[in-house]
Amino acid sequence: MEATDCSPYIRPQRSMEPSVYLDADLFGLEQRRVLSSTWQYGCHASDLDGPGSYVTFEIAGESLFAVRDPEGTIRTFYNVCMHRGHRLLDGAGVRPKLVCPYHLWTYRLDGRLDHAPHAQGRPGFDPGGICLTEVLTEDLWGFLFVNLDGDARPMEVTYPGVREALYEFLPSIERMRPLERRWFTAESNWKVAVENYNECYHCRSAHPSFSKGVVLPETYTIRPVGQSLQHRAESSPDQYYEIDYQASPHAADYRSFYLWPLFSFQVYPGPVLNTFCWRPASVDRTPFFREWFSLDGEDSPTVRRVADEDARTTVAEDLALMRSVQGGLSSRGYRPGPLVIDPDMGLNSEHTVAAIKAWYQEAMGPAVQ
């Protein structure tokens, strides 16, 4: 794996212009140029535990669903009937076949049309040429990612070495199953949210629970690798919960693997696996969920305690920060300030904000240069 050239992220530069966080028309363009052409988290493979199991979700304004076929293959399709555009499925469940509720067109689990009432033999009707539109899907240790761009580069190219690094840090990741999911809404642009997540310059002042009871701030670093940002730190000596030192060689360490643009794996000391997934709804509203995992899905008082503390402290604190930033960006008195850059990419550095800026401008092209 080639080392990532970080020089563009550690040179002096300023924050992005306020318009990229405030312009509703630009948000529509982002849906097409950024969110429709990058890898996005869909669901966990364990949510699809047998043939016909399906889960619906929305990516870049498109309704999609993942489904497991009788051979065990998981596919993702646009959630739309190829007849006249009715939505096929809602929520999650199990179906032997996929039946459109409008005219009862029926599809097999591999997406091919199986039956269309009263259509056989009609002029212009060729069932062999009708199939649901499939979406690129990759499985990363049970986490299913999709990309609406049929020509997208594989995840290994976009996030080099992440698969191996995740497994090396958490060898039990394949056995991890969702325990609980909590939804929140950031009253901000999605870029405000992911920038806030990816810099710890504010951690000591804004997150006392995280910086005293989870990590040792002076050991915190964040390294760009491809289009991922990899956070690491040692655990705090004042940990507020119990660590199982036998569970992993890195049980006493913290790691986070942010995958541009809208997802992050986060492993608290313990190890406690959790994820962030942002689902932008509008230019100034970003719902997101925090999902917490346990070994084989067994109930874990430790995981639930950490999830409670996280929601009560770090998440609540960040929601207030993001709301304030979004409001400030619309002030006529605001001018983009210089990013604080540490060439060593330590705790008090915003080189990560510079990386996000670079990836965003590359995807958007002249629209934001």
For the stretch 295-335, pLDDT in tens is 999 999 999 999 999 999 999 999 999 999 999 999 999 99
Position 1 scores a pLDDT of 56
Position 2 scores a pLDDT of 63
Task: Give yes or no: residues 44 and 26 share one domain.
Answer: no
Task: Give yes or no: residues 261 and 340 share one domain.
Answer: yes
Instruction: Let me know if residue 337 belongs to a domain.
Output: yes
pLDDT digits (tens, 9 = 90+) for 173-205: 999 999 999 999 999 999 999 999 999 989 888
Instruction: Let me know if residue 2 belongs to a domain.
Output: no
Average pLDDT over residues 130-154: 98
Please identify, among 105, 140, 175, the residue that sits at the C-terminal boundary of a domain. 140
Q: Which of 11, 30, 12 is nearest to 20 (CA)?
A: 30
Instruction: Let me know if residue 156 belongs to a domain.
Output: no
Average pLDDT over residues 129-158: 97
Q: In this structure, what CATH number is given to the domain that contains residue 72?
A: 2.102.10.10
Average pLDDT over residues 153-170: 97
Task: Give yes or no: residues 269 and 334 share one domain.
Answer: yes
Instruction: Let me know if residue 155 belongs to a domain.
Output: no
Instruction: Let me know if residue 146 belongs to a domain.
Output: no
Is-contact 201 349, C-beta < 8 A? yes
CA 339 vs. chain centroid, Å, equals: 25
Average pLDDT over residues 143-164: 98
Task: Give yes or no: residues 234 and 362 share one domain.
Answer: yes
State the amino acid at position 35 in one-letter form.
Answer: L
pLDDT digits (tens, 9 = 90+) for 13-35: 999 999 999 999 999 999 999 99
Q: What percent of the chain has pLDDT over 90?
A: 83
Q: Is 226 helix (H, G, I), strand (E, B) or coil?
A: coil
Task: Give yes or no: residues 173 and 266 share one domain.
Answer: yes
Domain that holds residue 103: 40-140
Q: Which of 156, 183, 146, 180 is nearest to 42 (CA)?
A: 146
Number of independent structural domains in the chain: 2
Is-contact 81 135, C-beta < 8 A? no
Q: In this structure, what CATH number is given to the domain that contains residue 324?
A: 3.90.380.10
Please identify, among 79, 109, 140, the residue that sits at the C-terminal boundary of a domain. 140
Task: Please enumerate in sequence order all residues whose Cβ is within 8 A of that of 49, keeping only pairs 6 or more positions apart, or say none.
Answer: 68
Task: Give yes or no: residues 221 and 255 share one domain.
Answer: yes
- Name residue, tokens 């002096």: 12
Instruction: Let me know if residue 111 belongs to a domain.
Output: yes
Task: Give yes or no: residues 178 and 275 share one domain.
Answer: yes
Task: Give yes or no: residues 126 and 266 share one domain.
Answer: no
Task: Give yes or no: residues 92 and 211 share one domain.
Answer: no
Instruction: Let me know if residue 150 belongs to a domain.
Output: no
Task: Give yes or no: residues 109 and 242 share one domain.
Answer: no
Instruction: Let me know if residue 343 belongs to a domain.
Output: yes
Task: Give yes or no: residues 133 and 172 share one domain.
Answer: no
Position 114 scores a pLDDT of 95
Task: Give yes or no: residues 94 and 45 share one domain.
Answer: yes
